């Protein structure tokens, strides 16, 4: 009895790894959030799908475990990588409590962080951290402390969940925190719809980022003090010594 917790990449298509594709091919049932399921349903027309809406994470994992306990091969799909803001941790916790005989295999995927970084250039070439601006499960006071610490330490920062209908001003609030430590000209970038047909990106300053519009499919990058624009793309130098030629 097993479940493969599968990262389908940010776009659910060309960014999937070979292991993710193999796990989906082998599954009898594919379980996931309805939006993520819609990204791959057409590729598996003969598979059985089970989906739940947003905030149905616990029920989703419980249903996947129930199916696996009957002896069926199950793939629980997550956007990006299941171990990064995904379902792997919750699934392992619930399996240990409810179905210890079910084996959970975590299949890594391409995250929004590195998928968007590749579009923008190379913004994460040196030390970096990721911070989600969603305060559904993390109080804003904690998010603000993390932003402040990351900026003070001169990390490159990748921001997940920068804005939504319920919290349209979180990105601006985050920029205000970052501006306590960072220059307004700090090189930043935004990648929207990574891996999807409407994918787009832009390089801009921290001051411009503060006024920018973002949504839940947008990943935001804030460079460190060394990040620069090279040929229209973000680059954070690793520290290699370049010759004059």
> Angle formed by the axes of helices 170-178 and 140-152, to 10°?
40
Region 2-107: CATH code: 3.40.1010.10
**Tens digits of per-residue pLDDT, 38-96?**
889 999 999 999 998 888 899 999 999 999 999 999 999 998 999 999 999 999 999 99
Domain positions in the chain are 2-107, 112-235
What is residue 2's predicted lDDT score, i.e. its pLDDT? 86
* C-alpha span between 26 and 73 (Å, rounded): 7
Q: What sign results for the dihedral spanned by CA atoms 215, 218, 224, 230?
A: negative
Region 112-235: CATH code: 3.30.950.10
* Global pTM value: 0.92
**Tens digits of per-residue pLDDT, 110-168?**
999 999 999 999 999 999 999 999 998 899 999 999 999 999 999 999 999 999 888 88
What is residue 242's predicted lDDT score, i.e. its pLDDT? 74
């Amino acid at each position: 009895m097993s479940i493969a917790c599968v990262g389908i990449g940010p776009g659910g298509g060309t960014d999937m790894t070979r292991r993710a594709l193999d796990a989906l091919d082998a599954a009898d049932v594919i379980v996931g959030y309805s939006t993520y399921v819609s990204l791959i349903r057409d590729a598996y027309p003969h598979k059985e799908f089970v989906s739940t809406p947003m905030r149905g994470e616990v029920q989703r994992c419980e249903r996947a475990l129930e199916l696996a306990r009957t002896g069926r091969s199950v793939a629980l799909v997550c956007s990006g990588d299941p171990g990064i803001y995904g379902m792997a941790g919750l699934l392992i916790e619930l399996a240990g409590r409810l179905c210890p005989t079910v084996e959970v295999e975590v299949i890594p995927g391409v995250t929004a962080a590195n998928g968007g970084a590749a579009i923008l250039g190379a913004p994460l070439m040196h030390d970096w951290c990721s911070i989600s601006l969603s305060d559904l499960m993390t109080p804003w006071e904690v998010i603000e402390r993390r932003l402040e610490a990351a900026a003070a330490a001169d990390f490159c920062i990748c921001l997940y969940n920068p804005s939504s209908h319920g919290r349209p001003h979180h990105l601006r609030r985050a920029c205000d925190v970052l501006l306590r430590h960072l220059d307004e000209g700090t090189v930043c970038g935004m990648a929207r719809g990574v891996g999807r047909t409407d994918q787009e990106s832009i390089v801009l300053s921290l001051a411009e980022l503060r006024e920018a519009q973002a949504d839940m499919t947008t990943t935001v990058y804030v460079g460190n003090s060394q990040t620069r624009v090279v040929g229209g793309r973000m680059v954070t130098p690793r520290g290699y010594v370049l010759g004059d030629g």
